[in-house]
């Protein structure tokens, strides 16, 4: 090996180490502050998603169809489907968790099968399912809640104002304490109005988690976000005037 090649290799190695150190302090370390024990490979994390049951789905009476190219296909053997926003959100969360080293003790749970599961770290996708409604009651330090009509400030019951023209999809991001697990349990809820609201909440957390870690550290918090209906979830913005920190 020539001296020039040796110097080049050493330079590449040092550059790689520097890049790794910068990534650790700028992204991994603050992101892990937000998720805490959720990224521990020895501790179970469950992600709950909304599922839909297809009833009376028999060969003679198919209830579910799919468009596959120019044809429409019946699927009489399908009994359960997942919501589109939550399914895409799971992919983003898996990618984020993988970047933070979470590879084991990770499960996806349909809400119909996991309505009574609470003694674990969890991420709930969707803001108006029954699991979500129970989340608002079971968890501690829950900044906001929502139903089909409004987003509420849980401290005083105040209704959070929203655009009435339908130009935005609103979502909430909650990091709360799970009292079922003592002092270290965490519950995160990412939900919103319609597909866009839920997508916006998931997208914001996954793409701004290091920023949240630098701002909030390992504390519990509640955020409200919104995205333009004409631009999709990538246009999401945080309404900082509604930030709540515990």
CA gap 210, 27 in Å, rounded: 5
**Is residue 67 situated within a structural domain?**
no
178's CB contacts (< 8 A; 6+ apart) are 118, 120, 121, 122, 138, 139, 140, 185, 186, 187
Structure tokens at 138: 């079971």
| Residues spanned by the domain of 235 | 3-54+80-245
Looking at the chain, list the stretches that DSSP marks H as alpha helix, in order from N- to C-terminal side: 3-23, 29-35, 84-99, 130-138, 194-216
Query: What percent of the chain clears pLDDT 70, i.e. is strictly above it?
Result: 90
**Is residue 72 situated within a structural domain?**
no
As a whole number of angstroms, the longest Cα–Cα distance in the chain is 76
**Is residue 238 situated within a structural domain?**
yes
**Is residue 62 situated within a structural domain?**
no
Q: Mean pLDDT, to the nearest integer, of 150-154?
A: 98
* pLDDT above 90 (res 110): yes
Q: Mean pLDDT, to the nearest integer, of 116-141?
A: 96
Nearest to 63 by CA among 55, 71, 72: 55
**CA-angle at 92, arms to 40 and 66, nearest 5°:** 130
pLDDT at 20: 61
* pLDDT above 90 (res 40): yes
Mean pLDDT rounded to a whole number for the chain: 91
CA gap 120, 19 in Å, rounded: 35
Nearest to 87 by CA among 44, 49, 139: 49
pLDDT at 15: 59
**Is residue 110 situated within a structural domain?**
yes
Q: Name the domain count of the chain.
A: 1
Q: Cα torsion at 164, 172, 94, 81 (round to 10°)? A: -60
Q: Beta strands 151-153 and 168-177: pairing type?
A: unpaired
**Is residue 65 situated within a structural domain?**
no
Q: Mean pLDDT, to the nearest integer, of 52-69?
A: 80
**Is residue 152 situated within a structural domain?**
yes
pLDDT at 62: 73
**Is residue 18 situated within a structural domain?**
yes
Neighbours of 147 (CB within 10 A): 12
CA gap 188, 211 in Å, rounded: 17
Q: What single-letter DSSP state applies at residue 206?
A: H
CA gap 27, 14 in Å, rounded: 19
Are residues 139 and 178 in contact, defined by beta-carbon separation less than 8 angstroms? yes
Q: How confident is the model at residue 63 (pLDDT cuts 50, 70, 90)?
A: confident
pLDDT at 222: 98
């Amino acid at each position: 090996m020539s001296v020039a090649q040796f110097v080049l290799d050493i330079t590449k190695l040092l550059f790689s180490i520097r890049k790794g150190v910068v990534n650790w302090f700028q992204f991994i370390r603050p992101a892990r502050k937000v998720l805490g024990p959720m990224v521990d490979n020895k501790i179970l994390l469950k992600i709950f998603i909304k599922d839909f049951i297809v009833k009376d789905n028999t060969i003679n009476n198919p209830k579910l169809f799919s468009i596959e190219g120019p044809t429409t296909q019946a699927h009489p053997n399908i009994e359960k489907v997942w919501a589109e926003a939550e399914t895409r959100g799971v992919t983003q969360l898996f990618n984020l968790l993988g970047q933070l080293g979470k590879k084991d003790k990770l499960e996806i749970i349909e809400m119909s099968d996991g309505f009574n599961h609470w003694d674990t770290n969890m991420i709930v996708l969707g803001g108006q399912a029954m699991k979500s409604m129970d989340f608002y009651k079971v968890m501690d330090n829950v900044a906001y809640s929502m139903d089909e009509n409004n987003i509420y400030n849980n401290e005083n019951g105040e209704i959070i104002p929203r655009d009435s023209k339908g130009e935005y999809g609103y979502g909430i991001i909650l990091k709360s304490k799970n009292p079922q697990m003592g002092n270290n349990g965490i519950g995160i809820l990412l939900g919103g109005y319609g597909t866009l609201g839920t997508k916006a909440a998931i997208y914001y957390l996954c793409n701004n988690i290091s920023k949240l870690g630098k701002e909030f550290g390992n504390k519990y918090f509640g955020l409200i976000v919104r995205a333009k209906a004409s631009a999709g979830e990538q246009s999401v913005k945080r309404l900082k005037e509604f930030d709540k920190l515990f």
